[in-house]
Chains A and B, each alone.
Chain A
Amino acid sequence: MNANVNPGRRAFLKTGVMLGTGLTLGFYLPTGMLRRAQASSEIADTFAPNAFLRITPDNTITVLVKHLEMGQGVYTGLPMLVAEELEADWQQIKVESAPADLALYGNLAWGGSAQGTGGSTSMGNSWEQLRRAGATARVMLIAAAAADWEVDANTLRAESGYVIDSENDRKASYGELTAKAAALTPPVEVDLKAPKDWKIIGKSMPRKDSLEKSTGQARFAIDWSLPGMLTALVARAPRFGAAVKSFDAEQTKAVPGVKTVVQIPQGIAVVAEGFWAAKKGRDALTIDWEGGETISTDELFNRYHEWADKPALVAAAEGDADQALEQGVHKLDASFEFPYLAHAPLEPLNCVVNLQDDGCDIWAGSQLQTLDQAVAASIAGLEPHQVRVHTLFAGGSFGRHANPTSDYIAEGVAVAKATRSLQAPIRLMWAREDDIKGGYYRPQYVHRLSASLDESGQPIGWFHRIVGQSILAGTPFEAMLVKDDIDATSVEGASNLPYAIPHRRIELLSTRVGISVLWWRSVGHTHTGFATEVFIDELAVAAKRDPVEFRRALLTEHPRHLAVLELAAEKADWGSPLPAGRGRGIAVHESFHSYVAQVAEVTVQPDGRFRVDRIVCAVDCGIAVNPDVITAQMEGGIGFGLTAALHSRITLKDGAVEQSNFHDYLLLRIDEMPKVEVHIMPSEAVPTGVGEPGVPPCAPAVANALYAATGKRIRRLPIDTNELKA
């Protein structure tokens, strides 16, 4: 199917277009577009008023999406913004991924410092940008029609892909106007539509990728193929930090289909015709490894608990927490433990690399395109602009593809460089075992919390100390998000505790352990959300107050927290009686500027086994651009959070990961999925993300429900049912 692709020759056509700012910037037409365009004689009539959309005479409107589609719905939600302002028909909108280009496609939520997708920023940072892109095109299409018909543009309107002249009863499709519109200079200022006039924003437009993903036609990086391509599997260190002392590839080279074995910085790569030969070849390698980590999980937790007794850096403080803790009538203390977690996207990491003397093409589910580009360029000895990153669908990511070290891209380019004499494109593949064992993980943490209540049950002091590795240390994001040695992502959700407790101190000890770590869907909130929401529940019990009522009284300064709390409680029929063995728990947490509350209902057996029956979720993510996508992300976030609550744990023994595949690194299965009801708060605020915020409240809501059912507090994840035995 890809026989026509020849990226080494001329994959990109560079043209100059005017942007709204008056600057002429490079505008790249990705390969797919070029191929279609070459088949058409009308390429000159393409209307591309900016880097985000292109209209062709066949009435196709192509929206270029700068973000990775990994399931969160950006290929639907972002084109909706363009279509709304453009007055397009949803059916004529096609979606393409934008190439790596920092100047055009930097993430504005990161100050444009990188092109990438993360922190649930796609909608927020595109909200103005894409509506303006659509509005600019609309104004130009109307102007083109006005000039053609020699009428005042103000007498015309745009609707469903047409410019309409009601007075003279005529209309022109956008496709008919492309050539004339392309000759116009884009306006500097455009008016955006008033919310009352929206026809697409706020509606559950069908996902653009549903059909291709329901018929096996969607193209993931793992499906990309080039003529003569070879597959590479890398044998990596069994212990973190270990290095190759020596290796013997004699038996590997005897495996039919194996082409070569090369050493790269990350390990020993077996390059073969297809996955199976590469895997058999890798299995046949004999490698002597030396050095590396020797740590084990229990030892690490013991060390973390010791450190949690000692003062650490202050991340946030108000009043005098020590004094308030001493003066309280009731004092509570608790410790929490969280394990390392693997992202385990179902599509294992992979990329296709076609390295040539004068450039390099990479096909990947790239989540940090411009960083991946820079890393690839430096390994290949090229300039970044010579590396073309083609972003395909990612079969899940949950943060794993957004690696500041571009680990799997770096491996792919390293193998391609080491095998240049073969003149073959390289598919770099990770087996599932590589993904579970060789990872970048959500760090292991220990939290220590203390709080005090006065005689009326009012909380007066709060102390929270977090011990664990910094995700951002040593990455390009360090300068932006690490201040005074406090990694903001280690304490997010804890340092900004919303509850009105006058005296508080939040501390952080960033540990140094030779285990590679990475952000994992909802990052710091994965653990801070659990610790704070379970502990506040403990305070409610100590105060002999209802958990919803207790929170409500402390959230009067945080109306958006309060509103989702009340909505979830109301929809879950909070307070209605439940039979013995069942329990209901609540949690509310803000992350990435979205607010989510969840009520969990559980049924617990006397032996401690339990089932989560139902989760009621209320979300405030500003303007609900696509309610169905928001609902889907809440459902999925709940399932993701539940996986961590019930199952997932990466443990280490002598520096090596003990788990290897889905038999010992368990994911949630369909028979464990509760009923989920999602309620979206009406809002006029700027839309915020939904990919991550559904995750944090799930596990604490479940733990609080288990307490309600059993009287046993869960302070370690994943939940050990032995702790729930009657």
Chain B
Amino acid sequence: MISLTINNQLHEVDVAPDTPLLWVLRDTLGLTGTKYGCGQALCGACTVDVNGNPVRSCSIPVSALAGSQITTIEGATGQAFEALKQAWVVLNVPQCGYCQSGQIMGALALLNSNSKPSDADIDTAMSGNLCRCATYVRIRAAIHGAADLLEANL
């Protein structure tokens, strides 16, 4: 049994220790907002927050996560997340939508470390998150929009 704190809830899971976090989230716990895209940390669809950092859950074994605070898209909260959600919806960012959980978790990590990112900051922070529909123009705009919302609320 491995103990995991996910979205502020303690879970005891009985899985092989080498199981990537992604598959515990999806197959064991039914938290399907986090997506599988490549299994090799190449696309970012599986991005979750671990202790305040964006992590590719497809490539980290659960055995390395005992004692960690894990947040998935389902458990994301706070001003920055609300601002991102609002900006994403207002700008109709998603097309197929499959990568968007990972995009938002990546954007959340960015805003948490840099509340007013430039285009270049966004490109650097988000270049590991692939979108096959190429919603990049709107992702960029939505991150700026969320930053503006955050600023207006302060």
Contact A662-B40, Cβ < 8 Å, known A215-B85, A225-B30: yes
Q: A669-681 vs B: 1/0 string, CB under 8 Å?
A: 1110101100000
Q: B30-56 vs A: 1/0 string, CB under 8 Å?
A: 101111111110110100000000000
Closest Cβ–Cβ distance, residue A69 to chain B (whole Å): 8
The answer to whether B42 and A396 have CB atoms under 8 Å apart is no
For the complex, give the distance between the alpha carbons of A396 and B135 in Å.
12
Q: B100-124 vs A: 1/0 string, CB under 8 Å?
A: 1100100000000000000000111
User: Is there a chain A Cβ closer than 8 Å to B28's Cβ?
Assistant: yes
The tally of residues in A whose CB lies under 8 Å from a CB in B reads 67
Closest Cβ–Cβ distance, residue B84 to chain A (whole Å): 8
Closest Cβ–Cβ distance, residue B53 to chain A (whole Å): 19
The closest CB in chain B to the CB of A395 belongs to: B98
Q: A201-216 vs B: 1/0 string, CB under 8 Å?
A: 0000011011111111
The closest CB in chain B to the CB of A218 belongs to: B97
Neighbouring A residues of B26 by C-beta, 8 Å:
223, 275
User: Is there a chain A Cβ closer than 8 Å to B96's Cβ?
Assistant: yes
Q: A334-371 vs B: 1/0 string, CB under 8 Å?
A: 00000000001111100000000000000000000000
Q: A637-660 vs B: 1/0 string, CB under 8 Å?
A: 011101100000000000000000
For the complex, give the distance between the alpha carbons of A231 and B84 in Å.
34
The answer to whether A667 and B130 have CB atoms under 8 Å apart is yes
Neighbouring B residues of A421 by C-beta, 8 Å:
none
Neighbouring A residues of B130 by C-beta, 8 Å:
346, 662, 667, 669
The answer to whether B134 and A639 have CB atoms under 8 Å apart is yes
Neighbouring A residues of B43 by C-beta, 8 Å:
346, 432, 662
Neighbouring B residues of A445 by C-beta, 8 Å:
none
The answer to whether B134 and A640 have CB atoms under 8 Å apart is yes
User: Is there a chain A Cβ closer than 8 Å to B145's Cβ?
Assistant: no
For the complex, give the distance between the alpha carbons of A671 and B125 in Å.
10
Neighbouring B residues of A220 by C-beta, 8 Å:
35, 98
The answer to whether B89 and A210 have CB atoms under 8 Å apart is yes
For the complex, give the distance between the alpha carbons of A220 and B136 in Å.
21
The answer to whether B131 and A663 have CB atoms under 8 Å apart is no
Q: B125-154 vs A: 1/0 string, CB under 8 Å?
A: 011111111111111100000000000000
User: Is there a chain A Cβ closer than 8 Å to B60's Cβ?
Assistant: no
Chain A contact residues, majority secondary structure:
loop
User: Is there a chain A Cβ closer than 8 Å to B79's Cβ?
Assistant: no
Neighbouring A residues of B136 by C-beta, 8 Å:
639, 668-670, 673
For the complex, give the distance between the alpha carbons of A279 and B26 in Å.
15
Closest Cβ–Cβ distance, residue B96 to chain A (whole Å): 3
The answer to whether A207 and B94 have CB atoms under 8 Å apart is yes
Contact A661-B134, Cβ < 8 Å, known A214-B93, A345-B96: no
User: Is there a chain B Cβ closer than 8 Å to A73's Cβ?
Assistant: yes
Closest Cβ–Cβ distance, residue B98 to chain A (whole Å): 3
Contact A670-B38, Cβ < 8 Å, known A206-B89, A635-B137: no
User: Is there a chain B Cβ closer than 8 Å to A71's Cβ?
Assistant: yes
Chain A residues 268-287 with CB under 8 Å of chain B are 273-277, 279-280
Of B36, B85, B96, B131, which is within 8 A of A394 by CB?
A: B96
Closest Cβ–Cβ distance, residue B6 to chain A (whole Å): 13
The answer to whether B19 and A675 have CB atoms under 8 Å apart is no
Chain A residues 185-207 with CB under 8 Å of chain B are 206-207
Of B19, B27, B124, B132, which is within 8 A of A231 by CB?
A: B27
User: Is there a chain B Cβ closer than 8 Å to A398's Cβ?
Assistant: yes
The answer to whether A668 and B134 have CB atoms under 8 Å apart is yes
User: Is there a chain B Cβ closer than 8 Å to A256's Cβ?
Assistant: yes
The answer to whether B96 and A217 have CB atoms under 8 Å apart is no
The answer to whether B94 and A276 have CB atoms under 8 Å apart is no
The answer to whether B126 and A632 have CB atoms under 8 Å apart is no
Neighbouring B residues of A635 by C-beta, 8 Å:
134-135, 137-138
The answer to whether A396 and B96 have CB atoms under 8 Å apart is yes
The answer to whether A632 and B129 have CB atoms under 8 Å apart is no
For the complex, give the distance between the alpha carbons of A182 and B19 in Å.
54
The answer to whether A348 and B36 have CB atoms under 8 Å apart is yes
The answer to whether B38 and A275 have CB atoms under 8 Å apart is no
Chain A residues 397-422 with CB under 8 Å of chain B are 397-398
Contact A214-B85, Cβ < 8 Å, known A346-B131, A395-B97, A640-B134: yes
Q: List residues of A whose CB falls within 8 A of some B CB.
A: 1, 70-73, 206-207, 209-220, 222-223, 225, 231, 256-257, 273-277, 279-280, 344-348, 393-398, 431-432, 628-629, 632-633, 635-636, 638-640, 642-643, 661-663, 667-671, 673, 675-676
Question: What are 17 sample pairs from A and B whose C-beta atoms fall under 8 A apart?
Answer: A73-B95, A206-B89, A209-B97, A214-B84, A214-B104, A215-B73, A216-B34, A222-B36, A275-B23, A346-B130, A393-B96, A432-B40, A635-B137, A640-B134, A662-B43, A662-B130, A670-B131
Given contact pairs A1-B30, A216-B74, a sample of 17 additional A-B residue pairs in the complex whose CB atoms are under 8 Å apart: A71-B95, A71-B96, A207-B94, A214-B88, A214-B93, A215-B33, A218-B97, A346-B130, A347-B37, A395-B99, A431-B39, A432-B38, A632-B92, A661-B38, A661-B40, A668-B136, A670-B126
